[in-house]
Amino acid sequence: MLKADSTVTANMNEDSFSSLPDSEKDAWLRERILEIVGPLGMITEEQDVAPYVQDARGRYRGETSLVVRPSSTQQVADVVKLCAQTGTPVIPQGGNTGLVGGGIPLCGKQNVLLSLQRMDRVLDIDPVGHTITVEAGCILANVQEAARTVGRLFPLSLASEGSCRIGGNLSTNAGGIAVLHYGNTRDLALGLEVVLPDGRVWNGLRGLRKDNSGYDLKQLFIGGEGTLGIITAATLKVFPLPVQIETAFLGVRDIDHVMQLYSQARSASGDRLTAFELIPRAGMEFGLKHVPGITDPFDRTYPFYVLMDISSSEAGNNLRTLSEQVLTAILEENLAEDVVLAESIAQAKNLWAIREGVVEGHKFEGAVVTHDVSVPIARIAEFVRTATAAAEAMHPGIRVIAFGHVGDGNIHFNFHQPVGEDPGTFIARAPEFNETVYDIAVGLGGSISAEHGIGYVKKSHLKKYRTDIEIELMRRIKRAIDEKNIMNPGKIFD
């Protein structure tokens, strides 16, 4: 084994490192990284490494020489410097909840998977400036809780919030159920601290609401999927905590009426609409069938349902009256067929369980091909109608489930196999299904990825659906910031 003394370290460069046999490379790196992060910061045993190199659905399995878990920005910087010196790829990982293989090492075994798990401290909460500063490894639910303790709301909220980490949310520009009112992660970020691919630290944690001094550099790293640097901390916006929340569930006759209802509810509530989720009947049935405790609040069935929250941080109970007025007007204008306004927190939770039941229940319905696309909000109805008809024509019996966050134009457009069909036969058609859905979404001015990013899975689609100028600019940015291509190589681009 090579000795990691300071002479060897100083003399080691990319050429001398690459001339070593793989086993010596591993040994050398391990020894050096151990000096930086200590034993708690390194995982090398195969069974302990396994959860880090596989995605949550078990679709992508990568390999790595070692998993490194630094506990400070300085440690991240020292590890990255070493990787830059030796040309070793670095794959940043947060909660590993992304589903496009973005945080999985898929570039050969010789790489360092850098997990932010141990960097999970809340660094500062400023209730006056309405900001919270956290390390990148903070679990999203813990950021929400920390804000709540000082009477503030951190509004980013998604089903994976108990496991995803803020660095991952930033790197994928995550959205969720409150985007229509508070914006997605990009809108919530005021400043970042980033370790660059050469190991230097950029401290951009200024937290200013207004800073017009040159390019807004943080935007490059938000949605960058770890290909330009490692986010180590962030200053984020928080808001006054809502104290009144009204939850309503509505039965709707078709998708066009869902969209009219959205527009009406938003303006009639004085822009207090904070969630607006679309649920199709077939998706609701997945929950009713497979998830205990879910009940249908109506006696009749409807093709679509809408779950909405109207909230306010104003004290008092005037929101109830306002919500009743909004819903009465919706019924009078025939935008919905039936409505339930939750009478208690428990009933509101039951209504939200119907939405969560779509995701829980779908796992028991055989093979599924998923699409997380977005289109301009005004074209959602057109998208759902056109893409549903195209799917049914392509594969008779297919079960199309369009659900999700209407307020940010982000539709989960899932295709379930016909009942009784062989799952393999259905999955084999996934590339055709993808192409059809992406063509329709992009044709309507939409995007092929509204969640998770591009990662490893959607690289070829990115090339097809973004313009040559866009791809060229992206590549130039990548080359300028990560000259040696060590930051999450093979993600977004080849």
The residues that touch ligand FAD, with contacts defined as CB under 6 A, are 56, 91-98, 102-103, 116, 136, 158-160, 164-165, 167-169, 171-172, 174-176, 225-226, 230-231, 451-452, 455, 488, 491
CB-based closest residue to ligand FAD: 168
Give the residue with the Cβ less far from ligand FAD, 246 or 451: 451
Contact status, residue 42 vs residue 34, Cβ threshold 8 Å: yes
At closest approach, how far in Å is the CB of 101 from ligand FAD?
Answer: 8
At closest approach, how far in Å is the CB of 435 from ligand FAD?
Answer: 22
Give the residue with the Cβ less far from ligand FAD, 196 or 342: 196
Cα 395 from Cα 198, distance rounded (Å): 50
Cα 462 from Cα 227, distance rounded (Å): 15
DSSP symbol at 418: P
Written as six digits, the tokens of 68 are 């490194």
Residue closest to 103 by CA, chosen among 119, 87, 116: 116
Buried b / exposed e across 14-47, counting CB within 10 Å, b at 16+?
eeebeebeeeebbbbbbbbbbebbeeebbbeeee
Contact status, residue 301 vs residue 284, Cβ threshold 8 Å: no
Residue closest to 281 by CA, chosen among 261, 305, 309: 305
3 dihedral zone (left: phi>0; alpha: psi -120 to 50; beta) = beta
Cα 174 from Cα 185, distance rounded (Å): 6
At closest approach, how far in Å is the CB of 297 from ligand FAD?
Answer: 23
Give the residue with the Cβ less far from ligand FAD, 162 or 397: 162
At closest approach, how far in Å is the CB of 321 from ligand FAD?
Answer: 31
Give the residue with the Cβ less far from ligand FAD, 231 or 252: 231
Give the residue with the Cβ less far from ligand FAD, 224 or 251: 224
Cα 219 from Cα 214, distance rounded (Å): 12
Phi, psi at 228, each rounded to 5° = -120, -15
Give the residue with the Cβ less far from ligand FAD, 127 or 376: 376
* Nearby residues of 438 by Cβ (< 8 Å), 6 or more positions away: 371, 373, 448, 461, 464, 465
Give the residue with the Cβ less far from ligand FAD, 167 or 489: 167
Residue 410 amino acid letter: N
Give the residue with the Cβ less far from ligand FAD, 176 or 283: 176
Residues 338, 340, 342, CA angle at the centre, nearest 5°? 170
Q: State the DSSP string of 142-210.
A: HHHHHHHTTTEE-----TTTTT-BHHHHHHTT---TTHHHH--HHHHEEEEEEE-TTS-EEEETT--S-
Beta strands 66-68; 112-115: pairing state: parallel
Give the residue with the Cβ less far from ligand FAD, 251 or 404: 404
At closest approach, how far in Å is the CB of 458 from ligand FAD?
Answer: 12
Give the residue with the Cβ less far from ligand FAD, 93 or 312: 93
Give the residue with the Cβ less far from ligand FAD, 111 or 417: 111
